Amino acid sequence: MNQEDFKKWIKQVNERIQEQKEYLSELDGAIGDGDHGVNMARGFQEVVNRIETFENPDIGALLQQVAMTLIGKVGGASGPLYGTAFLKAAGVLKGVTECTQSDLILALEEGLKGIKMRGKAEVGDKTMIDVWEPLLSKWKENPETSLKELKAFTAECMEGTRHLEAKKGRAAYLGKRSIGTLDPGSVSSYILFDTLFSNLEDVAS
């Protein structure tokens, strides 16, 4: 993937976030404060506005800009978390203009570490980590996994948050009442990865 592919991916993420804005907010309304869709839509729209004119082929530089925009525009819990994730990934891809699958996995793993460092949550706490962590371990351990399979697994991870009781983030205050609803951040993370895998399909074909 080159800088153009990354740009395309980010734009597609934005499109899907805009489409799913109400759905994400509705999920957050059920177990949080109802703003996740609005937050993500505000942030990614601004990201897309800014990268439009981004010319530097350095993928790390691009992701660094994405990160700073998310940090400065999303707010809430998801802003620093996604922001930190992109920031850490950018560090890995600094100076890289053509990113291989293993570069990508490495960068995303750094991103996950950033999320965990910032938010101090673990797998099972009903957060976006419940998508990131199992997905990235699976991908790393089996780099040959088909994109189709990865997509299905991402969806599975997202679905898996439904029966969890939230331990971190706003939903944690609901205790057992948080069970039965998908974690909104896991849904936005699903969108991120699902779109990534679609893009990799395109790049491959």
Partner 1 sequence: MKKVINDPNGVVSEMLEGMVLAYPEKLRQLEGTTVLVRKDAPVTGKVAIVSGGGSGHEPSHAGYVGRGMLDAAVAGEVFTSPTPDQVYEAIKAVDSGAGVLLIIKNYTGDVMNFEMAAEMAEAEGIKVAKVIVNDDVAVENSTYTTGRRGIAGTVFVHKIAGAKAEKGASLEEVEAVANKVITRVKSMGIALSPCTVPAVRKPGFEMADDEMEIGMGIHGEPGTERTKMKTSREIAELLVEKVLAELEFTNGEEAAVLINGLGATPLMELYIFNKDVAELLKQKGVKVYKTFIGEYMTSIEMAGLSLSILKLDEELINLLDMPVDVVGW
Ligand X SMILES: Nc1ncnc2c1ncn2[C@@H]1O[C@H](COP(=O)(O)OP(=O)(O)O)[C@@H](O)[C@H]1O
Site residues for partner 1 per CB under 8 A: 22, 25, 29-35, 37-39, 42, 71-81, 118-119, 167-170, 172-175, 177
88 touches 111 (CB < 8 A): yes
Count of CB atoms situated within 10 Å of the CB of 177 = 13
Interface with Mg ion, residue 33, by CB under 5 A: yes
Q: How far is the CB of 42 from partner 1 (least distance, A)?
A: 7
Exposure of 51 in the CB half-sphere (CA atoms within 13 A): 31
Partner in contact with 155, chosen from partner 1, Mg ion, ligand X, none, beta carbon below 5 to 8 Å by kind: none
Which of the choices partner 1, Mg ion, ligand X, none does residue 115 contact, using the CB cut-off of 5 to 8 A by kind? Answer: ligand X
Comparing CB distances to ligand X, the nearer of 28 and 194 is 28
Any idea which residue has 């703003």 for tokens? Answer: 35
DSSP 113-135: HHHHHHH---TTSSSTHHHHHHH
Cα dist from 181 to 32, 146, 162, 186, whole Å? 11, 29, 5, 11
Residues making contact with ligand X (CB under 6 A):
28, 32-33, 35-36, 39, 76-78, 81, 115, 119-121, 127-129, 168-170, 183-186
Site stretch for Mg ion (CB under 5 A), options 4-12, 29-37, 82-90, 142-150: 29-37
